[in-house]
Amino acid sequence: MDTEVGSYITPAFFSVVIAIFIMTMFLMIFLTIYMDERTKHQHTLQQAIFHSLTEAIFITNEEGNILSINEKGEEFFHIKKQEVSGKPITNFLSFLTKFSSSPQDQMYSTVFVNDKQYRICVNITKATFEFMEQYIISVRDVTKEHLQKKQLEEATNRYRSLFDVSPLSIVLHKGEEIISVNARFLKMLQFEHGKEIVGRNITEFIDKSQRQHIKNRIDQFMKLEDEDSFFIDEMKVKTNQNHQLSVQATSIVIIINGENYIQTITQDVTENHRAKETLQYLNSHDSLTDLPNRTLFHQIVKQDLWKVEQENKQAFMLSIDIDRFKQINDAIGHHGGDQVLIEATRRIKSCLGSNDTLSRMGEMNLCCIPHKRKKKYFS
Protein backbone atom coordinates (compact mmCIF):
# COMPACT_ATOMS: atom_id res chain seq x y z
CA MET A 1 0.00 0.00 0.00
CA ASP A 2 2.80 2.43 0.94
CA THR A 3 4.49 1.49 -2.26
CA GLU A 4 1.36 2.45 -4.22
CA VAL A 5 1.06 5.91 -2.53
CA GLY A 6 4.72 6.62 -2.93
CA SER A 7 4.46 5.81 -6.58
CA TYR A 8 2.20 8.88 -7.09
CA ILE A 9 4.74 11.31 -5.53
CA THR A 10 7.14 11.43 -8.36
CA PRO A 11 9.81 14.11 -8.89
CA ALA A 12 7.70 15.63 -11.69
CA PHE A 13 4.65 15.96 -9.45
CA PHE A 14 6.75 17.47 -6.69
CA SER A 15 8.20 20.02 -9.14
CA VAL A 16 4.71 21.09 -10.23
CA VAL A 17 3.65 21.62 -6.62
CA ILE A 18 6.76 23.67 -5.89
CA ALA A 19 6.19 25.77 -9.03
CA ILE A 20 2.58 26.49 -8.07
CA PHE A 21 3.64 27.44 -4.55
CA ILE A 22 6.34 29.81 -5.84
CA MET A 23 3.91 31.44 -8.32
CA THR A 24 1.36 31.88 -5.55
CA MET A 25 3.97 33.50 -3.33
CA PHE A 26 5.05 35.87 -6.13
CA LEU A 27 1.41 36.77 -6.81
CA MET A 28 0.79 37.51 -3.13
CA ILE A 29 3.96 39.61 -2.94
CA PHE A 30 2.90 41.52 -6.09
CA LEU A 31 -0.60 42.13 -4.74
CA THR A 32 0.84 43.25 -1.41
CA ILE A 33 3.22 45.69 -3.12
CA TYR A 34 0.40 46.92 -5.42
CA MET A 35 -2.01 47.49 -2.56
CA ASP A 36 0.71 49.17 -0.53
CA GLU A 37 1.53 51.51 -3.43
CA ARG A 38 -2.13 52.19 -4.02
CA THR A 39 -2.63 52.97 -0.34
CA LYS A 40 0.39 55.27 -0.40
CA HIS A 41 -0.94 56.96 -3.52
CA GLN A 42 -4.38 57.44 -1.98
CA HIS A 43 -2.81 58.71 1.23
CA THR A 44 -0.64 61.15 -0.75
CA LEU A 45 -3.68 62.31 -2.71
CA GLN A 46 -5.73 62.68 0.47
CA GLN A 47 -2.94 64.65 2.11
CA ALA A 48 -2.64 66.91 -0.95
CA ILE A 49 -6.37 67.60 -0.89
CA PHE A 50 -6.35 67.90 2.90
CA HIS A 51 -3.63 70.53 2.92
CA SER A 52 -4.82 72.43 -0.16
CA LEU A 53 -8.34 73.08 1.11
CA THR A 54 -9.17 76.70 1.87
CA GLU A 55 -11.17 75.69 4.94
CA ALA A 56 -9.80 74.69 8.32
CA ILE A 57 -9.91 70.87 8.62
CA PHE A 58 -9.61 68.71 11.74
CA ILE A 59 -9.43 64.91 11.67
CA THR A 60 -10.39 63.16 14.91
CA ASN A 61 -10.95 59.62 16.11
CA GLU A 62 -14.21 58.30 17.53
CA GLU A 63 -13.33 59.65 20.97
CA GLY A 64 -13.02 63.17 19.57
CA ASN A 65 -9.25 63.41 19.93
CA ILE A 66 -7.44 65.32 17.18
CA LEU A 67 -5.37 63.20 14.80
CA SER A 68 -4.42 65.93 12.33
CA ILE A 69 -5.07 69.51 11.24
CA ASN A 70 -4.32 71.22 7.93
CA GLU A 71 -2.37 74.44 7.32
CA LYS A 72 -5.54 76.51 7.02
CA GLY A 73 -6.63 75.24 10.42
CA GLU A 74 -3.27 76.12 11.93
CA GLU A 75 -3.53 79.60 10.41
CA PHE A 76 -7.13 80.23 11.49
CA PHE A 77 -6.79 78.96 15.07
CA HIS A 78 -3.17 80.18 15.50
CA ILE A 79 -1.94 76.73 16.56
CA LYS A 80 0.59 74.12 15.40
CA LYS A 81 -0.17 70.53 14.45
CA GLN A 82 2.20 69.06 17.02
CA GLU A 83 0.60 71.16 19.75
CA VAL A 84 -2.93 69.85 19.20
CA SER A 85 -2.32 66.21 18.26
CA GLY A 86 -4.17 63.98 20.71
CA LYS A 87 -6.08 66.84 22.33
CA PRO A 88 -9.89 66.89 22.46
CA ILE A 89 -11.58 68.78 19.65
CA THR A 90 -13.77 70.46 22.29
CA ASN A 91 -10.72 72.53 23.30
CA PHE A 92 -11.29 74.50 20.08
CA LEU A 93 -14.92 73.76 19.23
CA SER A 94 -16.60 73.54 22.63
CA PHE A 95 -20.08 73.02 21.19
CA LEU A 96 -19.07 69.64 19.68
CA THR A 97 -19.85 67.61 22.79
CA LYS A 98 -21.61 64.58 21.31
CA PHE A 99 -20.75 64.79 17.66
CA SER A 100 -19.15 61.35 17.53
CA SER A 101 -22.37 59.55 18.39
CA SER A 102 -24.70 61.61 16.20
CA PRO A 103 -22.81 63.92 13.84
CA GLN A 104 -24.80 66.73 12.23
CA ASP A 105 -24.36 67.71 8.60
CA GLN A 106 -23.95 71.43 9.28
CA MET A 107 -23.80 73.65 12.33
CA TYR A 108 -23.32 77.35 12.93
CA SER A 109 -21.66 78.73 16.01
CA THR A 110 -19.46 81.49 17.37
CA VAL A 111 -15.85 80.99 18.50
CA PHE A 112 -13.22 83.29 19.95
CA VAL A 113 -9.68 83.13 18.60
CA ASN A 114 -7.16 85.41 20.29
CA ASP A 115 -10.07 87.37 21.81
CA LYS A 116 -11.55 87.97 18.37
CA GLN A 117 -15.05 86.73 17.63
CA TYR A 118 -15.77 84.68 14.51
CA ARG A 119 -18.92 83.19 13.09
CA ILE A 120 -18.21 79.71 11.72
CA CYS A 121 -19.99 76.98 9.77
CA VAL A 122 -19.00 73.43 10.75
CA ASN A 123 -19.52 70.30 8.64
CA ILE A 124 -18.82 66.81 10.03
CA THR A 125 -18.26 63.76 7.84
CA LYS A 126 -17.73 60.23 9.14
CA ALA A 127 -15.18 58.15 7.21
CA THR A 128 -13.27 54.87 7.52
CA PHE A 129 -9.55 55.00 6.84
CA GLU A 130 -7.28 51.98 7.28
CA PHE A 131 -10.04 50.13 9.16
CA MET A 132 -10.40 52.99 11.67
CA GLU A 133 -13.45 55.23 12.11
CA GLN A 134 -12.52 58.89 11.77
CA TYR A 135 -14.33 62.22 11.62
CA ILE A 136 -13.46 64.97 9.16
CA ILE A 137 -14.48 68.33 10.61
CA SER A 138 -14.38 71.32 8.25
CA VAL A 139 -14.58 74.82 9.72
CA ARG A 140 -15.49 77.71 7.42
CA ASP A 141 -15.23 81.35 8.46
CA VAL A 142 -18.59 82.94 7.57
CA THR A 143 -18.13 86.12 9.62
CA LYS A 144 -18.34 88.45 6.60
CA GLU A 145 -21.34 86.63 5.15
CA HIS A 146 -23.02 86.71 8.57
CA LEU A 147 -22.43 90.45 8.95
CA GLN A 148 -23.65 91.11 5.41
CA LYS A 149 -26.75 89.02 6.03
CA LYS A 150 -27.35 90.81 9.33
CA GLN A 151 -26.91 94.22 7.69
CA LEU A 152 -29.25 93.19 4.88
CA GLU A 153 -31.86 92.03 7.40
CA GLU A 154 -31.52 95.30 9.33
CA ALA A 155 -31.84 97.32 6.11
CA THR A 156 -34.85 95.23 5.09
CA ASN A 157 -36.46 95.77 8.50
CA ARG A 158 -35.79 99.52 8.31
CA TYR A 159 -37.28 99.65 4.82
CA ARG A 160 -40.27 97.60 5.99
CA SER A 161 -40.80 99.95 8.94
CA LEU A 162 -40.54 103.06 6.77
CA PHE A 163 -42.80 101.42 4.18
CA ASP A 164 -45.46 100.56 6.76
CA VAL A 165 -45.52 103.82 8.73
CA SER A 166 -44.86 106.23 5.87
CA PRO A 167 -47.36 109.11 5.67
CA LEU A 168 -47.25 108.61 1.89
CA SER A 169 -49.24 105.97 0.04
CA ILE A 170 -46.83 103.32 -1.28
CA VAL A 171 -47.40 100.29 -3.48
CA LEU A 172 -44.77 97.75 -4.58
CA HIS A 173 -45.57 95.94 -7.80
CA LYS A 174 -43.79 93.54 -10.14
CA GLY A 175 -44.94 94.58 -13.55
CA GLU A 176 -48.67 95.11 -13.16
CA GLU A 177 -49.07 92.67 -10.24
CA ILE A 178 -49.38 94.28 -6.81
CA ILE A 179 -46.92 92.69 -4.35
CA SER A 180 -47.31 94.83 -1.25
CA VAL A 181 -49.07 98.00 -0.07
CA ASN A 182 -48.80 100.08 3.07
CA ALA A 183 -51.62 101.17 5.36
CA ARG A 184 -51.79 104.65 3.84
CA PHE A 185 -52.35 103.22 0.36
CA LEU A 186 -55.14 100.98 1.66
CA LYS A 187 -56.79 103.96 3.32
CA MET A 188 -56.54 106.06 0.16
CA LEU A 189 -58.27 103.38 -1.92
CA GLN A 190 -60.73 102.61 0.91
CA PHE A 191 -59.68 99.00 1.56
CA GLU A 192 -59.51 97.35 4.98
CA HIS A 193 -56.89 94.62 4.45
CA GLY A 194 -53.89 94.12 2.20
CA LYS A 195 -55.14 90.70 1.07
CA GLU A 196 -58.02 92.48 -0.70
CA ILE A 197 -55.61 94.15 -3.10
CA VAL A 198 -52.34 92.16 -3.14
CA GLY A 199 -52.06 90.02 -6.27
CA ARG A 200 -54.44 92.18 -8.30
CA ASN A 201 -53.54 94.12 -11.43
CA ILE A 202 -52.62 97.69 -10.54
CA THR A 203 -54.21 99.06 -13.71
CA GLU A 204 -57.63 97.93 -12.41
CA PHE A 205 -57.69 101.07 -10.28
CA ILE A 206 -56.62 103.49 -13.02
CA ASP A 207 -59.06 105.39 -15.22
CA LYS A 208 -59.63 103.58 -18.52
CA SER A 209 -58.43 106.57 -20.54
CA GLN A 210 -54.98 106.32 -18.91
CA ARG A 211 -54.51 102.55 -18.61
CA GLN A 212 -52.59 102.00 -21.84
CA HIS A 213 -50.22 104.86 -21.05
CA ILE A 214 -49.47 103.37 -17.62
CA LYS A 215 -49.06 99.87 -19.10
CA ASN A 216 -46.46 101.24 -21.52
CA ARG A 217 -44.64 102.97 -18.65
CA ILE A 218 -44.53 99.75 -16.64
CA ASP A 219 -43.26 97.70 -19.61
CA GLN A 220 -40.52 100.26 -20.13
CA PHE A 221 -39.48 100.21 -16.48
CA MET A 222 -39.37 96.41 -16.24
CA LYS A 223 -36.65 96.38 -18.91
CA LEU A 224 -34.33 98.84 -17.14
CA GLU A 225 -31.09 97.61 -15.57
CA ASP A 226 -30.46 100.37 -13.01
CA GLU A 227 -32.25 101.96 -10.08
CA ASP A 228 -31.68 105.60 -11.08
CA SER A 229 -34.71 105.96 -13.33
CA PHE A 230 -38.07 107.28 -12.20
CA PHE A 231 -41.17 108.81 -13.69
CA ILE A 232 -43.88 111.12 -12.36
CA ASP A 233 -47.44 110.96 -13.62
CA GLU A 234 -50.77 112.41 -12.65
CA MET A 235 -53.67 110.04 -13.03
CA LYS A 236 -57.20 109.39 -11.95
CA VAL A 237 -57.83 106.30 -9.83
CA LYS A 238 -60.95 104.57 -8.62
CA THR A 239 -61.43 103.65 -4.95
CA ASN A 240 -63.13 100.58 -3.52
CA GLN A 241 -66.26 102.73 -3.08
CA ASN A 242 -66.13 103.84 -6.75
CA HIS A 243 -65.00 107.36 -5.86
CA GLN A 244 -62.60 108.99 -8.27
CA LEU A 245 -59.37 110.53 -6.99
CA SER A 246 -56.66 112.55 -8.69
CA VAL A 247 -53.23 111.30 -7.62
CA GLN A 248 -49.65 112.20 -8.37
CA ALA A 249 -47.54 109.04 -8.71
CA THR A 250 -43.75 108.85 -8.52
CA SER A 251 -42.38 105.46 -9.58
CA ILE A 252 -38.83 104.13 -9.20
CA VAL A 253 -37.16 100.82 -10.06
CA ILE A 254 -36.08 98.56 -7.19
CA ILE A 255 -33.94 95.50 -7.97
CA ILE A 256 -34.63 92.60 -5.59
CA ASN A 257 -32.71 89.34 -6.06
CA GLY A 258 -31.79 90.42 -9.57
CA GLU A 259 -35.39 91.11 -10.61
CA ASN A 260 -37.02 94.46 -11.34
CA TYR A 261 -39.79 95.70 -9.10
CA ILE A 262 -41.48 99.10 -9.18
CA GLN A 263 -42.17 101.14 -6.07
CA THR A 264 -44.81 103.78 -6.66
CA ILE A 265 -45.38 106.56 -4.14
CA THR A 266 -48.75 108.21 -4.59
CA GLN A 267 -50.19 111.44 -3.22
CA ASP A 268 -53.87 112.29 -3.28
CA VAL A 269 -54.11 115.70 -4.98
CA THR A 270 -57.88 115.64 -5.48
CA GLU A 271 -58.47 118.59 -3.14
CA ASN A 272 -55.63 120.52 -4.77
CA HIS A 273 -57.23 119.97 -8.16
CA ARG A 274 -60.62 121.03 -6.85
CA ALA A 275 -59.14 124.16 -5.28
CA LYS A 276 -57.29 124.93 -8.51
CA GLU A 277 -60.43 124.39 -10.58
CA THR A 278 -62.44 126.56 -8.17
CA LEU A 279 -59.86 129.34 -8.36
CA GLN A 280 -59.81 129.15 -12.15
CA TYR A 281 -63.60 129.29 -12.20
CA LEU A 282 -63.70 132.32 -9.89
CA ASN A 283 -61.08 134.07 -12.01
CA SER A 284 -63.12 133.53 -15.16
CA HIS A 285 -66.69 134.09 -13.91
CA ASP A 286 -68.68 136.99 -12.47
CA SER A 287 -69.28 136.42 -8.77
CA LEU A 288 -72.81 137.93 -8.83
CA THR A 289 -74.38 136.40 -11.94
CA ASP A 290 -72.07 133.37 -12.33
CA LEU A 291 -71.64 134.37 -15.99
CA PRO A 292 -68.31 134.25 -17.85
CA ASN A 293 -66.41 137.48 -17.25
CA ARG A 294 -64.63 139.66 -19.80
CA THR A 295 -61.45 137.50 -19.83
CA LEU A 296 -63.26 134.22 -20.48
CA PHE A 297 -65.60 135.90 -22.98
CA HIS A 298 -62.62 137.01 -25.09
CA GLN A 299 -61.29 133.43 -25.11
CA ILE A 300 -64.70 132.11 -26.20
CA VAL A 301 -64.92 134.74 -28.96
CA LYS A 302 -61.51 133.69 -30.31
CA GLN A 303 -62.55 130.04 -30.38
CA ASP A 304 -65.87 130.82 -32.06
CA LEU A 305 -64.24 133.04 -34.68
CA TRP A 306 -61.71 130.32 -35.50
CA LYS A 307 -64.53 127.79 -35.87
CA VAL A 308 -66.54 130.16 -38.07
CA GLU A 309 -63.54 130.69 -40.35
CA GLN A 310 -62.94 126.94 -40.61
CA GLU A 311 -66.58 126.26 -41.49
CA ASN A 312 -66.91 129.38 -43.68
CA LYS A 313 -69.95 130.57 -41.76
CA GLN A 314 -71.11 133.83 -40.19
CA ALA A 315 -71.40 134.86 -36.55
CA PHE A 316 -72.90 137.75 -34.69
CA MET A 317 -72.73 139.18 -31.18
CA LEU A 318 -75.47 140.90 -29.22
CA SER A 319 -74.71 143.63 -26.65
CA ILE A 320 -77.37 144.12 -23.99
CA ASP A 321 -77.68 147.14 -21.65
CA ILE A 322 -80.19 147.38 -18.82
CA ASP A 323 -82.07 150.68 -19.13
CA ARG A 324 -82.09 153.11 -16.21
CA PHE A 325 -79.94 150.75 -14.13
CA LYS A 326 -78.30 153.67 -12.32
CA GLN A 327 -81.70 155.02 -11.29
CA ILE A 328 -82.67 151.57 -10.02
CA ASN A 329 -79.54 151.46 -7.87
CA ASP A 330 -80.23 154.94 -6.52
CA ALA A 331 -83.89 154.13 -5.81
CA ILE A 332 -83.63 150.71 -4.12
CA GLY A 333 -79.93 150.46 -3.33
CA HIS A 334 -77.13 148.27 -4.65
CA HIS A 335 -78.61 145.09 -3.20
CA GLY A 336 -81.85 145.75 -5.07
CA GLY A 337 -79.87 146.55 -8.22
CA ASP A 338 -78.02 143.25 -7.85
CA GLN A 339 -81.33 141.37 -7.65
CA VAL A 340 -82.55 143.11 -10.82
CA LEU A 341 -79.34 142.12 -12.62
CA ILE A 342 -79.64 138.50 -11.43
CA GLU A 343 -83.27 138.32 -12.60
CA ALA A 344 -82.40 139.88 -15.97
CA THR A 345 -79.64 137.30 -16.39
CA ARG A 346 -82.03 134.46 -15.56
CA ARG A 347 -84.62 135.64 -18.11
CA ILE A 348 -82.06 136.10 -20.89
CA LYS A 349 -80.48 132.67 -20.23
CA SER A 350 -83.92 131.07 -20.44
CA CYS A 351 -84.11 132.29 -24.04
CA LEU A 352 -80.71 130.86 -25.01
CA GLY A 353 -79.64 127.43 -26.11
CA SER A 354 -77.07 125.27 -24.37
CA ASN A 355 -74.36 126.26 -26.88
CA ASP A 356 -75.02 130.01 -26.62
CA THR A 357 -72.77 132.24 -24.55
CA LEU A 358 -73.89 135.05 -22.24
CA SER A 359 -71.27 137.13 -20.48
CA ARG A 360 -71.21 140.10 -18.10
CA MET A 361 -68.86 142.72 -19.53
CA GLY A 362 -69.50 145.60 -17.14
CA GLU A 363 -71.73 146.82 -14.34
CA MET A 364 -74.89 146.81 -16.48
CA ASN A 365 -73.65 145.48 -19.80
CA LEU A 366 -74.12 141.90 -21.04
CA CYS A 367 -72.85 140.33 -24.26
CA CYS A 368 -74.38 137.36 -26.00
CA ILE A 369 -73.11 135.09 -28.77
CA PRO A 370 -76.20 133.19 -29.91
CA HIS A 371 -75.94 130.22 -32.25
CA LYS A 372 -79.70 130.08 -32.93
CA ARG A 373 -81.09 133.14 -34.73
CA LYS A 374 -84.83 132.72 -34.41
CA LYS A 375 -86.69 135.95 -33.62
CA LYS A 376 -88.67 134.49 -30.76
CA TYR A 377 -85.51 134.30 -28.66
CA PHE A 378 -85.02 138.06 -28.74
CA SER A 379 -88.57 139.47 -29.05
DSSP string, 94-147: TT-SSTTTS--SEEEEEEEETTEEEEEEEEEEEEEETTEEEEEEEEEE-HHHHH
* CA-wise closest residue to 320 among 377, 376, 364, 374: 364
> What per-residue confidence (pLDDT) applies to 196?
94
| Phi, psi for 201 (deg, rounded to 5) | -80, 125
Assessment of whether the complete model's pTM goes beyond 0.75: no
Tell me the backbone φ, ψ of residue 33, rounded to 5 degrees: -65, -40
Return the number of other C-beta atoms located less than 10 Å from residue 307's C-beta.
Answer: 11
pLDDT at 243: 92
Q: State the pLDDT at residue 184.
A: 92
Return all residues near 378 (Cβ < 8 A) that are at least 6 apart: 318, 351, 370
- pLDDT of res. 371: 64
Answer positive or negative: Cα dihedral of 274, 275, 281, 287: positive
pLDDT for the residue numbered 47: 57
∠ Cα 143 101 88 (to 5°): 60
Q: Partners of 178 in the beta sheet?
A: 173
Per-residue exposure over 90-102, b if at least 16 CB sit within 10 Å of its own CB, e if not = eebbeebeebbee
Q: Count CB atoms within 10 A of the CB of residue 275.
A: 11
Q: What angle do CA 285, 287, 292 make, to 5 degrees?
A: 20
Spell out the residues 6+ positions from residue 217 whose beta carbon is closer than 8 angstroms to its own: 231, 233, 251
Distance CA 182, CA 163 (A): 6
pLDDT at 37 (0 to 100): 64
Closest CA to 373 of 322, 321, 313: 313
Please report the pLDDT score of residue 178 as a whole number.
94
User: In a structure prediction context, what are the per-residue pLDDT tens digits for the chain, which is 379 residues long?
Assistant: 445 545 556 677 667 777 787 888 877 877 777 666 666 655 555 555 555 567 888 888 888 899 888 888 888 999 888 888 899 998 888 888 765 445 556 888 999 998 899 999 998 888 777 667 888 888 999 999 888 888 878 877 888 878 888 888 999 999 999 999 999 999 999 999 999 999 999 999 999 999 999 999 899 888 877 667 788 888 999 999 999 999 999 998 888 878 889 999 999 988 888 888 888 888 888 888 888 888 888 888 888 778 777 777 777 777 777 777 777 777 888 788 778 788 888 888 888 777 777 887 776 666 766 665 554 545 4
The one-character DSSP state at 256 is E
pLDDT at res. 53: 67
CB-CB contact of 49 with 57 (8 Å): no
Phi, psi angles (nearest 5°) of residue 167:
-75, -10
The one-letter amino acid at 182? N
Query: What pLDDT score was predicted for residue 101?
Result: 46
Q: Which pLDDT score is estimated for 1?
A: 47
CA 247 to chain centre: 22
Sign of CA dihedral 103, 104, 105, 107: negative
Of the candidates 204, 156, 155, which has an alpha carbon nearest to the alpha carbon of residue 178? 204
